[in-house]
Amino acid sequence: MPYITVGKENSGNVDLYYEDHGSGTPVVLIHGWPLSGASWEKQVRALTDAGHRVITYDRRGFGKSGRPMLGYDYDTLAGDLDMLLTKLNLKDVMLAGFSMGGGEVARYLGKFNSKRVKKAALISAVTPFLLKTPDNPAGVEKKVFDGIQKAIREDRPAFLTQFLANFYNLDEYLGKRISEEVVRLSWMIAAGASPRGTHDCVSSWQTDFRKDLAKVTIPVLVVHGDSDRICPLEATGKPAAGAIRDSRLIVIKGGPHGLNWTHAGELDDALVEFFGKPGEKVNRVTVSPAM
């Protein structure tokens, strides 16, 4: 199994597990919390079938990657992404970040610029600024994040069960768009993550990415469900699209946070159309009106 080393903690390395499949224009998929690169199962198939080389990796603390006690802030996480792109010598890459992974995309572009990146996608992402403040009234109250961390400390496995119910809107889609087995798999992946990483990543969700998005000059696709209970559309998807000079917003009707499974067909079609099929001429995306 391939790994890259992104740091050290005491006597051990901090290694990131990644998978590298297919050939063609490279697409790097950055997963959400508290899952792993395995959550991109449907998108990997669609994008490799479309002729792309697709790379997934597990964020530090999650999946098969190392589980350090530190490094769950976005500067460090974006640095990990940069090391992966550098190690694999990827150029003209397409980045896609889901949920928390959208923060890696934003901070990477804000900090390292887009010299390696051709296009990017933000899917159910935490961008531009999830925390409610006087200048961000549509955000989420800080007490919500504090409550999540308290629940994780008290009974992480039980919290994950409740979280996944809202992640996939199971009251609406269980047995229709998602099976009990997929929910169970998601829980197992999440429960196997670092307890410290699972807890500390919640603090990073309160990061302000508005300055990062203002620096983005490449085309960006924003995909969000209008039934997202984790990152509400009005607080994230719409203002993120409005903050990027060359953006396109696609709102998936009825889409929950975890739409990469429940509405995979619609998401896959959007990504394939936006990233294109290698060898085909693809029109440059145009800016959507501010919403």
Q: Could you give the residue numbers annotated as active site?
A: 99, 228, 257
Of all helices (H) and strands (E), which one includes residue 163?
helix 142-167
What is the CA angle 227-98-278, rounded to 5? 115
The answer to whether 39 touches 28, Cβ cutoff 8 Å, is no
Smallest CA-to-CA distance from 157 within 119, 204, 195 is with 195
Count other Cβ atoms within 10 Å, centred on residue 162: 11
Query: For residue 198, which amino acid is it?
Result: T
> First vs last Cα of the chain: how many Å apart?
44
Which CB contacts under 8 angstroms, 24+ apart, belong to 159-165?
A: 160/34, 160/187, 160/190, 160/191, 161/187, 163/34, 163/190, 164/190, 164/258
